[in-house]
Structure 1
Amino acid sequence: MSALTAETAADAEARLRVDLAAAYRLVALFGWDDLVFTHISARIPGPEHHFLINPYGWMFEEITAGSLVKVGLDGQAIGPNTAMVNPAGFTIHSAIHEAREDAGCVIHLHTVAGTAVASQEEGLLPLNQTAMLLNGRVAYHDFEGVALDHDERPRLVADLGERDVMILRNHGTLTVGRTVAQAFTQMYFLERACAMQVAAQGGTVRLPADPVQAVVEQQSQGLGFVADLLVWPALLRKLDRANPGYAA
């Protein structure tokens, strides 16, 4: 590897660390965290499929770029930071990062609204514009217990397929993005849609006509562009005001 290539790789990892640390703190800021549980990972560019994940036992509001742990697909820490990582987090995230070249970031949460919808037979319903933006993107995976068994990984990957949003039945929510920005923005829409669904179920719900749903699904195709160029910079400015220091 040339010195220039090595420097470029190091710079890419440094930028990724900052974005991932920001995502952890934004999850806490939005009230989506679950003590020290759940996890967000980001794959480091390169053929090794190394990825970054949080040190187990840290609150999400505490995460910094430097605290993130780099791990390989064998579960071993790479580099000087050998902090413990969540075993269930490794099971879920290693499976997706290994199988999907486009899985730059994976977010998994246990929010009240997300888990409520994950516990409903029909899953996410296209009740409103927010939910319809996810039409055609949502996969489902049946609950098999706490994700400690590596034998579950091929089933998880098969259920996810090429989609970038997953409802883990009786468990929680998951999104995949090429960038941290895209995975976070997808999760924002998923969590909002779940909260809206739970709120709407207090009365008689009304589903939009199928042609309208198809229109909104088509209109959602530019979401990645919006996430990277508009949403993420605004979120970082918000975080800089509310909880700076994540880049350390």
Structure 2
Amino acid sequence: MAPTQSVKSNVSPEEWQQRVDLAAAYRLVALYGWDDLVFTHLTARVPGPEHHFLINPYGMMFDEITASSLVKVDLDGNKVMDSPYSINPAGFTIHSCVHAAREDARCVLHAHSINGVAVSAQKEGVLPISQQATIVLASLAYHDYEGIALRDDEKPRLVRDLGQKNFLMLRNHGLLTVGPTVADAFLFLYVFEAACMIQVRALAGSRELVPVAKPILDGVQQAAQQVTRGLGGSLAWPGLLRKLDRSNPGYAD
């Protein structure tokens, strides 16, 4: 793909910051190995009264995405700002219904990570066997697989299953997190994937597992709801951006 001309002068400072953060999230997903070539999506709502959203240009690898290359669309996936790139309308099916139903879901991240898909295929789902899992279980929902997400009639069922949770396990498919900011949604995805990776490795050890006792689990989950609130933006996110600046700069172009 040809280099993208900067759109910074054509958007508000608030939209530009959202573009930078979302482009960083794409590159971080690639950095941690959770991407699936070009076949998943991370979206963020543009600040302001309009229901406009940023999504990746279809065909661009996650480690190539920049703030300027992100495509701005409406809830129907129609471009609302000139862009040389197209999007995958099917890829916006899941994201559009979540954004529409959840005013607080300013960012929606969906990944086909290997560990996430593996656990999504396990009947018991996420097991309470790690601290990471207890955080996920404090706000976890499940949605059964209905095939590749192409049909609009799946949207109400997906919205119903997600409810007010921040973590959604898409059975036989992957992971989804929502958050009020890109930073928060990314932190949730990091913890979700970590819980799944730990579970896959623990089950591969062929030893009896020690689950977290229910009274402790309940207490940890209550604490987790407080600990994760705003943690991505205030602590982890700036460090993640510094890490990205060292390994793959250019996302803010």
Do these two structures clear the TM 0.5 threshold for a shared fold by scoring above it?
yes
Q: How far apart, in 1, do the equivalents of 2:25 and 2:70 lie? A: 12
Distance in 2 separating the partners of 1:239 and 1:14 = 18
CA contact (8 A) 2:104 2:179 kept: yes
Out of 113, 116, 124, the residue aligned to residue 114 of structure 1 is 116
SS in structure 1 of the partner of residue 80 of structure 2: coil
Cross-structure match for 1:49: 51
Secondary structure of residue in 1 paired with 2:34 = coil
Stretch moving more, 114-123 or 133-142: 133-142
Q: Deviations over 1:178-204 (max 9, x none)?
A: 000000000000000000001111222
* Contact 2:139–2:167 (8 Å) recurs in 1: yes
What code does the residue aligned with 2:218 have? A
Cα distance, 1:46 vs. partner? 2.6
Equivalent position amino acid for 1:61 in 2: D
In terms of mean alpha carbon deviation, does 38-47 or 176-185 score higher? 38-47
Correspondent of 1:204 among 192, 203, 208: 208
SS at match of 1:224: coil
The alignment status of 1:164 with 2:166, answered yes or no, reads yes
Give the CA RMSD over aligned residues: 1.2
Rounded to whole Å, the distance in 2 between the matches of 1:92 and 1:101 is: 15
Query: Deviation string for 1:101-145 (max 9, x for gaps)?
Result: 001100000011000000010111111111111223010001111
Using the TM superposition, give the Cα deviation of residue 225 of structure 1 relative to its aligned residue in structure 2, in angstroms: 2.3
**Counterpart pick for 2:75 among 68, 73, 77:** 73
Query: Partner amino acid for 2:117?
Result: T
2:44 is paired with a residue whose SS is strand
Q: 2:199 & 2:248 partners in 1: Cα distance?
A: 30
Indicate the residue corresponding to 2:181 in structure 1: 179
Q: Distance in 2 between matches of 1:69 and 1:229?
A: 27
Q: Which residue of 2 aligns with 1:230?
A: 235
The question of 1:219 aligning with 2:240 is answered: no
Alignment length (residue pairs): 241
Match of 1:4 in 2: none
Could you tell me which residue of structure 2 aligns to residue 188 of structure 1?
190
The letter of the residue matching 1:155 is R
Amino acid in the other structure paired with 2:68: G
**Contact in 1 for aligned 2:126/2:137 (Cα 8 Å):** no
Match status 1:244 vs 2:246: no
Measure how far apart 1:236 and its partner are.
Answer: 0.2
Letter in 2 for 1:215: G
* Equivalent-residue separation in structure 2 for 1:11 and 1:69 (angstroms): 16
Q: What is aligned with 2:5?
A: none
Q: Give the whole-Å Cα distance in 2 for the aligned partners of 1:121 and 1:194.
A: 13
> Is the Cα–Cα contact under 8 Å of residues 135 and 213 in structure 1 kept in the other structure?
no
2:229 alignment partner AA: G
> Aligned residue for 2:131?
129
1:103 to 102, 105, 118: 105
For residue 159 of structure 1, report the CA deviation from its aligned partner.
Answer: 0.5
